[in-house]
Amino acid sequence: MRKKIFFAESDILIKILLLVKNGLSKKDIANELSISDQRLRIYTAKLADSDLIRYETELNRYIVTDSGHKYIKENEK
């Protein structure tokens, strides 16, 4: 039996932010993190409300905003 690993919400938000750095679809994010569509909606809404990511409708993917890139850069140190 596989052991379930639980991550803090802040860890998941950071992982999503890093995953969408170059653009990624909802499905790919959910698959990469093994999270439900419902959880993904909650997390991406929090990141979008904080202006760290946005959804590009034409590309069908999330991308990091300028604010998101600044946040990543500041927290890589």
Per-domain residue ranges for the chain? 9-75
End-to-end CA distance of the chain: 38
- Topology (CATH level 3) of domain 9-75: Arc Repressor Mutant, subunit A (1.10.10)
pLDDT digits (tens, 9 = 90+) for 26-66: 999 999 999 999 999 999 999 999 999 999 999 999 999 99
pLDDT at 37: 93
Q: What is the pTM of this model?
A: 0.84
pLDDT at 4: 55
